[in-house]
Amino acid sequence: MTAPARTPADAPPAPGEVLLRAEGLAVHFPQRGGPPVRAVDGVDLEVRRGETLGLVGESGCGKSTLGLALLRLVEPTAGRIELDGTDVTALGRRELRGLRRRVAMVFQDPYASLDPRQTIGRIVAEPLEVHGLAPGRAARRARVDELLAMVGLDPSFRDRRPHELSGGQRQRVGVARALAGEPELIVCDEPISSLDVSIQAQVLNLLVRLQRELGLTYLFVAHDLAAVQHVSDRVAVMYLGRIVEVGDTARVTGDPAHPYTRALLSAVPVPDPPAERVRRRIVLSGDVPSPAAPPSGCRFRTRCPDAFEPCPHVDPALADLGGGHRAACHLHGVVGTPVDEAGAALLDDPA
Ligand code: SF4
């Protein structure tokens, strides 16, 4: 895929204040006869107005569950979510409708997320009806045509059904539907991973253009760091239910502070052939541990090539490295929560 790199001309408005904030967010799924699956397990995250925050990690790391929890499409077990200062976790059912208007979602698989029995016109019109927008048939029809045009589809698509469309066209419909409620924030959950490589850049370009034109804020969830780094102002890296590194994209990708980020980056092909020939790939050993039984101390320690003495004993905190760059790794100083006496002793006497 040739991802569209950001240029000064198409850069979004300068990111402003915090639009969405999660603090200590956890989503645990109970399991019969076993410990709960800790899909999201203590996440602090900020999304600033006008920016694209890329959320990246291997499948199963909890990033999609985190995206769903931010919209309360799954209920958080603990923690707090604020949208523009409003506590989203305390909203009742009726107030949640307002949240779903302000925060929309574009799903990974446009075929699965679009009702196959409905026409495209009905699919895009449904959020208009739910939120009481464009009342009356004529106004709704005109708004549907406008939304289709915004995503590059002809009004004639109104009468078709999802199976008559290509994957890229279906994802454009998914974007039109997300835009119908005039959201401020769109959570894009792996929006290009089910598409042909030749189509992926077109959909990314569409998202970038819409952000510029409508002043949108994106949380862009993906396992593909290459796509994330080209469209994101900041990147958050997630491993086993936690954010392990976050910061400006250039800083995180140019000078990664966490060994997991370094491993993810080493898998990204370099467009320069000589550099690509000497690219050193960091291959992580072992599988991702079960989120029902994460390792003690640093959750990455069972696969980390740099693990050392404090790692099993102290759960590393997300420490500030300056300039908004934060990483949870003892290589930058042993800071965190001791999980046993050895950890407590290490923090008492780090030397
Ligand atoms: Fe590796 Fe230790 Fe850093 Fe965890 S804290 S990433 S195990 S060096």
Annotate 276-317 with DSSP letters as a single string: HHTPPP-PPPSPPPPTTSPPSSSTTTTT-TT--TTTTTEEE-
Nearest to 162 by CA among 154, 152, 170: 170
**Per-residue model confidence as pLDDT tens digits over 36-89:** 999 999 999 999 999 999 999 988 899 999 999 999 999 999 999 999 989 998
Which of ligand 1's atoms lies nearest the C-alpha of 310?
2
Q: How far does residue 300's CA lie from ligand 1's centre (Å)?
A: 6
Residue 173 lies in a domain: no
Residue 345 lies in a domain: no
Residue 14 binned pLDDT confidence (cut-offs 50, 70, 90): low
> Which single residue is written with the structure tokens 């009726």?
94
**Per-residue model confidence as pLDDT tens digits over 124-161:** 999 999 999 988 999 999 999 999 999 999 999 999 99
What residue owns the CA closest to ligand 1's atom 3? 329
Q: How far does residue 46's CA lie from ligand 1's centre (Å)?
A: 24
224 CB-side CA count, 13 A: 20
Residue 307 lies in a domain: no
Residue 2: is its pLDDT beyond 50?
no
Residues of the domain holding 187: 18-113+183-254
Q: CATH number of the domain at 223, please.
A: 3.40.50.300
How many angstroms separate the CA atoms of 44 and 32, rounded?
A: 29
**Per-residue model confidence as pLDDT tens digits over 246-256:** 999 999 999 99
Residue 297 binned pLDDT confidence (cut-offs 50, 70, 90): very high
**Per-residue model confidence as pLDDT tens digits over 301-339:** 999 999 999 999 999 999 999 999 999 999 999 889 999
Residue 27 lies in a domain: yes
Q: How far does residue 100's CA lie from ligand 1's centre (Å)?
A: 38
Residue 143 lies in a domain: no
Residue 349: is its pLDDT beyond 80?
no
Residue predicted with more confidence, 269 or 213: 213
Contact predicate 55/20, CB 8 Å: no
Q: How far does residue 260's CA lie from ligand 1's centre (Å)?
A: 9
25 CB-side CA count, 13 A: 32
Residue 246 lies in a domain: yes
Residue 316 lies in a domain: no
Number of domains within the chain: 1
Q: What is the mean pLDDT of the chain?
A: 90
What residue owns the CA closest to ligand 1's atom 8? 307
Residue 13: is its pLDDT beyond 80?
no
What 3-state DSSP class applies to 98? helix
Residue 15 binned pLDDT confidence (cut-offs 50, 70, 90): low
Residue 3: is its pLDDT beyond 60?
no
Residue 351: is its pLDDT beyond 90?
no
What residue owns the CA closest to ligand 1's atom 5? 329
What residue owns the CA closest to ligand 1's atom 6? 329
**Per-residue model confidence as pLDDT tens digits over 178-213:** 999 999 999 999 888 888 888 898 999 999 999 999
Q: How far does residue 271's CA lie from ligand 1's centre (Å)?
A: 30
What residue owns the CA closest to ligand 1's atom 1? 307
Residue 141 lies in a domain: no
Residue 12: is its pLDDT beyond 50?
no
**Per-residue model confidence as pLDDT tens digits over 83-103:** 998 999 888 888 888 888 899
Residue 8's pLDDT is what?
42
